[in-house]
């Protein structure tokens, strides 16, 4: 119990000292096993643990999701998602924020990471919202809230890791995440409409987009 408590405190302290989390956890684990059991066993487990993690077939999906998020971000597909969403809802008050939330859900459906979703939408949507005089509160809040959809709307990296750790069917987890993900999207959009309606200074009304341009915007999706 004492070794475990000290190890937890040491891991948190190393994290606050900006030591990469993988190395801090690895160091704490080796030292903890060494003190609790045997240093010989600790050093023998070290290469086995690393090789098991690196060569794990189940965990191979995680870097693939991250790669997919980077591909979407670098190739401009995220911009296409945002433009298409804005073409349909941009004319209503708070339309840019609503477009950002819709683009977040689309990005989440192929990325699986909240961090990647929030970071990409910050680059794509935040400059547009500032250009059209959206408040900092609504702009940053929309992106932060939309980022949470990344781990909820399947596929999700967290669901994959949870399924591996608990031996739960990952397909069932993905199916179970669909309704909560869509519900979260709808509730976030309703919250944006409420904020924009209560105080119009947060979100100016956008321009109307003709149907020809709306259909053209869908080609990017």
Q: What is the CA radius of gyration of the chain?
A: 22
Residue 129 has a pLDDT of 83
Query: Range of 104's domain?
Result: 60-218
Assess whether 89 and 37 both reside in one domain.
Answer: no
Q: What is the distance, to the nearest Å, from the Cα of residue 188 to the centroid of all Cα atoms in its chain?
A: 15
Assess whether 19 and 121 both reside in one domain.
Answer: no
Residue with the two structure tokens 């339309």: 95
* pLDDT, average across residues 210-215: 76
Assess whether 195 and 214 both reside in one domain.
Answer: yes
Residue 72 has a pLDDT of 73
Q: Give the separation between CA 46 and CA 160, rounded to whole angstroms.
A: 24
Q: Give the separation between CA 129 and CA 134, rounded to whole angstroms.
A: 5
Assess whether 50 and 130 both reside in one domain.
Answer: no
* pLDDT, average across residues 174-178: 89
Q: Give the separation between CA 16 and CA 8, rounded to whole angstroms.
A: 13
Assess whether 135 and 163 both reside in one domain.
Answer: yes
Number of domains in the chain: 2
Assess whether 96 and 192 both reside in one domain.
Answer: yes
* pLDDT, average across residues 113-126: 81
DSSP state of 208: -
Assess whether 123 and 29 both reside in one domain.
Answer: no
Residue 157 has a pLDDT of 81
pTM above 0.85, yes or no: no
The pair of structure tokens assigned to 122 is 């910050």
């Amino acid at each position: 119990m004492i070794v475990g408590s000290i190890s937890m405190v040491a891991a948190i302290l190393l994290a606050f000292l900006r030591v990469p989390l993988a190395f801090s956890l690895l160091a704490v684990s080796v030292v903890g096993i060494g003190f609790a059991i045997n240093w010989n066993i600790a050093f023998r487990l070290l290469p086995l643990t690393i090789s098991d993690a690196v060569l794990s077939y189940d965990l191979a999906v995680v870097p693939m999701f991250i790669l997919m998020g980077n591909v979407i971000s670098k190739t401009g597909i995220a911009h296409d998602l945002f433009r298409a969403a804005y073409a349909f809802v941009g004319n209503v008050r708070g339309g840019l924020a609503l477009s950002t939330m819709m683009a977040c859900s689309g990005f989440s459906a192929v990325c699986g990471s909240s961090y990647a979703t929030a970071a990409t939408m910050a680059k794509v949507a935040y400059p547009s919202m500032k250009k059209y005089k959206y408040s900092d509160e609504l702009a940053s809040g929309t992106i932060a809230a939309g980022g949470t959809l990344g781990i909820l709307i399947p596929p999700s990296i967290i669901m994959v890791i949870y399924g591996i750790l608990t031996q739960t069917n990952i397909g069932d987890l993905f199916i179970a995440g669909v309704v909560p993900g869509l519900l979260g999207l709808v509730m976030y959009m309703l919250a944006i409409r409420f904020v924009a309606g209560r105080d119009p200074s947060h979100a100016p009304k956008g321009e109307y987009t003709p149907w020809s341009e709306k259909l053209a915007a869908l080609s990017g999706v």
